[in-house]
Structure formats: structure tokens, C-alpha cells
Structure 1
Amino acid sequence: MLRRQDVGHRVVVRRIVGVTRDRTLYTDALGELVDLTETELTIATDKGTVKVPLREVHRAKRVPAARRPPARDVIDLELAANAAWPAPVQARLGGWILRAAENWTGRANSALAVGDPDRTLEAAIDGVIEWYEAHGQRPLINAPMPLAAPVNAALDARGWTARPLTLVQTALLAPLLSRLPARADLPPVELADTPGDDWYAMVADHKGTLPATAVRILTGPDEVVFAHVRDADGGLLAVARGAVTDPGRWLGVSLLQTAPGARRQGIAQHVLRGLAQWGVQHNATRAYLQVEERNAPAVTLYGRVGFGTHHTYLTRAAPEG
């Protein structure tokens, strides 16, 4: 049977799904073990998240990991993503990065647990708690998987909760552009150095009120662009943000949103193409985005045009009180 130490690792679970003519029927689930409670386990498979009640588990074991990027590649991509979403307050705990941004987005208000914290793991977690409490915020840790599996195991033991699994997906820009059709029938993708008021308004509909800190994060990178698509009357149909950062000259795509009345027309792919072209002009060769695993429509869209999961991460929250 699986244990808490297996969270973050690749597993296979044989599940009892019924009995027919005195014969037990099974199905298998293969993927990354995301969570394990006293009553069920959660697995992130290629087809989506599967929750299996423990009473239905016939057998379960850890299996060799699928081919994964080297740890250095995960760290470099996480550092590039941090540069693309720069929290205004940052500090170091060895290789870990402590980030605070008045609680606007988990990404900008969590400790990035990559590299060596230069102390024992327990002391590192204590240091995170002290730093965030000093800043008047609930301690959060961003734990890339399976790189930070030991961190997750230690946080489990201390009662930290987990937010939904996030997929960090990547694609090479040249193949990506070949999959994204040029759409002369759609309004052009306008790329601006600064976002318009309606751009901010559409983002706020999704992210909530944008404090001054949010504006600093969104406009912070040296190479950043804001995409707008407008109808013939000037109404906003879609927005997105792109940023090219190092190490690695990555194009980070974020905040891709389409107005409800403009969906299912290919506008999201249209915007992606515009950002990809901009990224190539800024010497980027690869793109990444971050999407919650449970957001099936977005995951399907990105997979259709060539994005694949590079790694995943969990945002862990300290117990309240």
C-alpha cells in the first residue's frame, strides 16, 4: 500500500470497479500521486485527476518515473517564471526564494522551494514560517514536483494543506507557430508595452481587484507585452500577457482570457500566435504557461496546439491558527 512518502511520485493503482458472475473487475490508474488521505488517494493521470476511495484499492505501488527533465532544467524554468512574475518583496533562504506581494496571487506570495536552502529541511520550513509571519502573511511554499517531494513529505507531517495541482506546460516556439493558424478573418492581435484600462478590467474579472502591487508585478519584467483583441466597435474580445526572461530566454504566457461572447471562435489560439511571434522577435525559443490541472478546457486547448507538461507544482499552506 502507498504511504505519505509516495506523494509526488509515479504510481500505479489497481482499483476494484465491480463484480460480475463471481469475477472481480479491475481498472488501473497510472500517474503522479498528488494526495493521500485516510479515505482516498488522488492521482494526476494523462487523462485527468482520478480520486480512488481506499476501500476500492486492490493493489498500489510506486513505479519508475516517466522520463522527466533534469532537476537543473526545472530549477531554471522556475527561476525564469519567477523573473516573469516578480514579487516586489523577495529574500533568500539559501537557494529558496521568499516572495511577498500583499497576498495578490499565490505565485507571488509563496516561498519557491528549489535548490539548497543551506540548512536542514525542518529549519528551512521554520525559516519560511518566521519570514511570512514577520510580513503579516500566511506561510506558503511553492513545491515543484517531483523535485520537491521531500519538501512535500515534510509539510504533510506538519499538517500543511495543498492547493490544486498546477501544470507547468512548455512548447518549442517554432512548432507551436506551425500549429497556430494565421486568421485573417479575426481582428488583429494588438501588442502594447502597457495595458489599457479595459485590459486591467478584464483581468480583474478573473483575478479580483488589482492592487498597486499587481500592477508592479504585471509591468515589472524588462521584456513584457500586453495583448488585446478588439471587435469593430472597440470592445475587448481577449487579452493576454507575455514576458521573456532568463535563464533560457523563455516566453511566459499568462492571463489569457476571452470574453464570454467571443469563445469557441479560435481567438485564444489567435492570441497565442501573436505572443509566440513576439517571443521569437525577442530571441525566445521556448514558451511556458501555468494552468491548474482541474481546468480541463484550458488543458485541452494547450495540448491541442502542442504544449506538454514539463513538471507540476503544489502550493502548500501552513495550518491556520
Structure 2
Amino acid sequence: MLRQQDVGHRVVVRRIVGVSGDRPLYTDALGELVDLSETDLTLATDKGTLRVPLRDVHRAKRVPPARRPHAAAVIALELAADAAWPAPTRATLGSWLLRAAGNWTGRANSALAVGDPDRPLEAAIDAVERWYLEHGQRPLINAPMPLAAPVNAMLDERGWTARPLTLVQTAPLAPILATTGAADLPPVDLADSPGDDWFTMVAAHKGDLPPVAVRILTGVPEKVFAHVRDADGELIAVARGAITGPDRWLGISLLQTVPAARRRGLGRHVVRGLAQWAAQHRATRAYLQVEERNTAAVALYGRLGFSTHHTYLTREAPSGGPPGEA
């Protein structure tokens, strides 16, 4: 049977799905174990999230991982993503990064647990807790998987909870640039700074944007803000692109479409516009971060050629300060 140490690893689960006569019927599920409670286990599979009651599990075991990027590639991409979402308050713990931004987004307010914290793991988590409490925030740790599996196992022992699994997906720009959209879509306007209505549209999704949010969104040297307007000049789609890291990754974030304009291909249209801009600035690959449970977005990105590079869990201390914003 599986244990907490298996969370974040690839497993196969044989479960009972029915009975034929006096014989049970089984089916197998393969995926990444993202949660294991006293009553259920949860897998991230190629087809989505699968929650299985433990009473239905016949057998379960860890299996060799699918082909995954090397640890160095995961770390390099996580550092590029950090540079694209720069928290203003920062410190280091060995190779770990401590980041705070007034609780605006988990990405900017969590310790990035990659590399060596230069001390035993339990002492590193103690130091993270102290640092965030000193800054008046609940301690959060961003744990890329399976690279940070030991971190997750230790956090489980300490009673830390986990936010929904996030997929870090990547794609080469070439297939994105090769996509075509509806001819009647309005152009994607790419600006060096966002308009007031761009901020308003993002705030409708992310909540109020404090000054620190504006600082994060505009504080990257190579960034662009996509605006798409209808015939009346009303904003109907937005996104942000940023190029960071030695490998010049294009990071795509805050892709949004107003409800009345959905199902017209605007998301693909905007991503292609950002890819064109990035290609002109010597980028060749793009990444984005999306919650695994957001099946509509995952499906859209899959059609554009994105696949999961790695995943991460944002872990939250059981107590010790005000909760951070998601």
C-alpha cells in the first residue's frame, strides 16, 4: 500500500469498479500521487484528477517515473518563472529562495524549495517558518515535484496542507506560431505597459491589485501586455508575457477573456500574439502555470502544443499568521 513518502511520485492503482457474479471487476489507473488521506488517494492522470476511496483500492504501488526533465532543467525553469514574477522582499536559505509580497499571490509569497538549503531539512523548514512569521505572513513553500519529494514528505509529517496541484507546462514557439485563428478576430495589441482597463479586468479575476501587484507585473525588463478590443473599443481579452532566464523563456500569465467573448478562439489568438513578440526577441520556448483542476485551460493549452514539464505543490503551514491569497 502507498505511504505519505509516495506523494509526488508516479504510482499505479488497481481499484475495484464493480462485481460480475461473485467476482470483483478491476481497472488500473496510472498517474502522479498528489494526495493521500486516511480515506482517499488522489491521482493526477493524463485524463485529469482521479480520487479513489481507499476501500476500493485492491493494490497500489510506486512505479518508475515517466521520462522527466533533469533536476537542473526544473530548477532553471523555476528560477526563470521567479524572475518573471519578482517578489520585492527576498532572502536566501542556501539555494532556497524566500519571497514575500504582501500576500499578493502564492507565487510571490512562498519559499521556492529548489537546490540545497545548506542545512538539514527540518532546520530549513524551521527557518522558513521563522522568516515568514517575522514578516507577518503564513509560511508557504513552493515544492516542485518530484524534485522536492523529501520536502513534501517532511511537510506532511509537520501537518502542512497543500493547495491544488499546479502544472508547469512548456511548448516550443514554432507550433504556436503555426496555428491559425478565425479571420474575424480583432488584432492583439501588445503594449509595454498595461492600460487602466487591463488592470480592471485582471482585478476582476485576481482581486484588488495593491501597489505591490503593479510592481510585480511591471517590474520585469522584457515584458509585454496583450489587449484585445471589440469593435466598440471594449476590452475583451488580456494576457501578460515576460522573457526571463538564460534560456530566454517566454512566461505567459493572466490570460483572460470576458465571458461574452468566450468560445471564439481568443485565448489561442492571444497566445499566438505573445509568441510572435517573443520570437522577435530571441525566445524559442514558452511556459505557463495552470492548476491541474482547471480542465478547460489545460485542454486549450494542450491544443497549442503545451505539455507538462513538471508540477508543484504550494504547501501551507497549519498556523502562524494571516493566510496568503491564492
Could you say whether these structures have the same fold, taking a TM-score greater than 0.5 normalized by the shorter chain as the test?
yes
In 1, Cα distance between equivalents of 2:174 and 2:266:
20
1:137 to partner: Cα distance: 0.2
- The Cα offsets for residues 259-301 of structure 1, whole Å up to 9 and x where unpaired, read as 1000000111110110000010111110000000000000000
Q: Is 2:66 aligned against 1:63?
A: no
Which residue identity lines up with residue 77 of structure 1 in the other structure? L
Say how many residue pairs are matched: 320
SS in 2 for 1:131: helix
In 1, Cα distance between equivalents of 2:58 and 2:302:
32
Aligned residue for 1:85?
A: 85
Q: Is 2:237 aligned against 1:238?
A: yes
> Is the Cα contact below 8 Å between 1:5 and 1:153 reproduced in 2?
yes
1:201-216 counterparts in 2 under 5 A? 201-216=200-215
Aligned residue for 2:98?
A: 98
In 1, Cα distance between equivalents of 2:7 and 2:99:
25
Aligned residue for 1:173?
A: 173
Aligned residue for 1:160?
A: 160
Aligned residue for 2:49?
A: 49
Aligned residue for 2:292?
A: 293
Aligned residue for 2:324?
A: none
Aligned residue for 1:227?
A: 226
Structure 1: state its 5+ residue gaps: none
> Is the Cα contact below 8 Å between 1:79 and 1:247 reproduced in 2?
no
1:240 to partner: Cα distance: 0.2
Aligned residue for 1:115?
A: 115
Aligned residues with identical type, % of pairs = 78
Aligned residue for 1:141?
A: 141
> Is the Cα contact below 8 Å between 2:181 and 2:265 reproduced in 1?
no
Which residue identity lines up with residue 305 of structure 2 in the other structure? G
Deviates more, 1:18-27 or 1:56-65: 18-27
1:182 to partner: Cα distance: 4.8
SS in 2 for 1:143: strand
Which residue identity lines up with residue 246 of structure 1 in the other structure? G
User: TM-score scaled to structure 2, two decimals?
Assistant: 0.97
SS in 2 for 1:65: coil
Which residue identity lines up with residue 217 of structure 2 in the other structure? L
Which residue identity lines up with residue 311 of structure 1 in the other structure? H
In 2, Cα distance between equivalents of 1:287 and 1:305:
11
Aligned residue for 1:317?
A: 316
Aligned residue for 1:284?
A: 283
1:20 to partner: Cα distance: 1.4
- The Cα offsets for residues 238-272 of structure 1, whole Å up to 9 and x where unpaired, read as 00000000131000000000010000001111101
SS in 2 for 1:181: coil
Runs of 4+ in 1 over 4 A off after TM superposition: none
Aligned residue for 2:265?
A: 266
In 1, Cα distance between equivalents of 2:193 and 2:183:
25
In 2, Cα distance between equivalents of 1:261 and 1:184:
19
Which residue identity lines up with residue 250 of structure 1 in the other structure? W
Which residue identity lines up with residue 273 of structure 1 in the other structure? R
Which residue identity lines up with residue 136 of structure 1 in the other structure? G
> How big is the alpha-carbon RMSD for the aligned residues of Structure 1 and Structure 2?
0.7
Q: Is 2:37 aligned against 1:37?
A: yes
In 1, Cα distance between equivalents of 2:184 and 2:38:
54
In 2, Cα distance between equivalents of 1:107 and 1:213:
13
Aligned residue for 1:252?
A: 251
> Is the Cα contact below 8 Å between 1:238 and 1:256 reproduced in 2?
yes
Which residue identity lines up with residue 120 of structure 1 in the other structure? P
In 2, Cα distance between equivalents of 1:183 and 1:82:
34
- The Cα offsets for residues 71-97 of structure 1, whole Å up to 9 and x where unpaired, read as 000000000000000001111000000
> Is the Cα contact below 8 Å between 1:42 and 1:51 reproduced in 2?
yes
Which residue identity lines up with residue 65 of structure 1 in the other structure? P
In 1, Cα distance between equivalents of 2:90 and 2:314:
17
In 1, Cα distance between equivalents of 2:176 and 2:239:
17
In 2, Cα distance between equivalents of 1:244 and 1:7:
32
Deviates more, 1:182-191 or 1:246-255: 182-191
User: TM-score scaled to structure 1, two decimals?
Assistant: 0.99
Aligned residue for 1:7?
A: 7
In 2, Cα distance between equivalents of 1:76 and 1:176:
22
